[in-house]
Amino acid sequence: MPAQQLALSAILREAFTRLWSRRRGTLAATAIACVVGLAISHAPLRPLVAQSAAQLIVLPLVASFIYLWVTDLPDDSPRPLGAALERLLERSWAVILIDLVLSLIQSLTTVPSMILWDLLLVPLLAATIFADVAATLDFPLSAFAIFPHAFARSVFLAMHARNFGRMCLLLAAQFGLQAILLEIALILPHGFRADGTLLLAIVAQVALAAVAARMFVEASSSNP
């Protein structure tokens, strides 16, 4: 079956099948992300600053690793752990920077009086949702080209209606999970609320990253 004919259900099934088939690396990466995230969140800083830093650093990095972990090399062979870590180290700064920019844009959508502004920002967030995936997976790229290429690549893929629809669904899933995490945080014990929310966010990020990577690969195959 041609890649462009893959149904969304097939992409979801492939994403979670790959996570399961490479579960040792997935679990190890998730555990390391949890430990590093908790270490950063408990750094001797103001609690809000430390917790924000933990999310802004750890979530993009674990997502970037999963993008690599569930995709193959150009010759369609499974990506070795060493190759995944090498690319992660090479592109980590760009992925963190891209996610920071997108987080700042997303924060602008929380102002109730800016509904018309949201009508512009939400499609922009959807159209750029593959930016960190492109920054991680596309190769070769110079250090200076990674950042502009990532956004241009994502917007180019969004110009195709089928891709953009799926990108909107992925953004909706992100918003939905964020809302669920906020609700869960309210029922967690007060002393464990921040840590529990971070740990749940890391687990959710792993699942979302696997789906985003497989969507990106399918979209890239359809619209190279």
pLDDT of residue 189: 83
Residue with tokens 């109730």: 112
> Would you say residue 88 has pLDDT above 90?
yes
If you count them, how many residues does the chain have? 224
> Would you say residue 87 has pLDDT above 50?
yes
How far is Cα 36 from Cα 82, in angstroms, rounded to an integer? 20
DSSP conformation class of 111: -
Q: 4-8, 55-59, 176-180, 205-209: which has the minimum mean pLDDT?
A: 4-8
Q: Is the pTM of this model over 0.85?
A: yes
Of 201, 223, 220, 216, the closest CA to residue 11 belongs to: 216
Collect all residues with Cβ–Cβ distance below 8 Å to 36 and sequence separation of at least 6: 57, 58
How far is Cα 138 from Cα 133, in angstroms, rounded to an integer? 8
Mean pLDDT of 6-10: 86
Domain count, the chain: 1
> Would you say residue 113 has pLDDT above 60?
no
> Would you say residue 2 has pLDDT above 50?
no
Residue 142 is which amino acid? S
Q: Which one of 5-14, 165-174, 179-188 scores highest in mean pLDDT? A: 165-174
Q: 15-29, 37-51, 182-196, 206-220: which has the minimum mean pLDDT?
A: 182-196
Collect all residues with Cβ–Cβ distance below 8 Å to 122 and sequence separation of at least 6: 109, 171
Query: Are the C-beta atoms of 61 and 53 separated by less than 8 Å?
Result: no
Cis-peptide into 47, omega within 30 deg: no
Query: Are the C-beta atoms of 137 and 71 separated by less than 8 Å?
Result: yes
Q: What share of the chain is helix, strand, coil (3-state, %, to 5)?
A: 85, 0, 15
Q: What range defines the domain where residue 75 resides?
A: 3-222
Does residue 78 sit in helix, strand or coil? strand
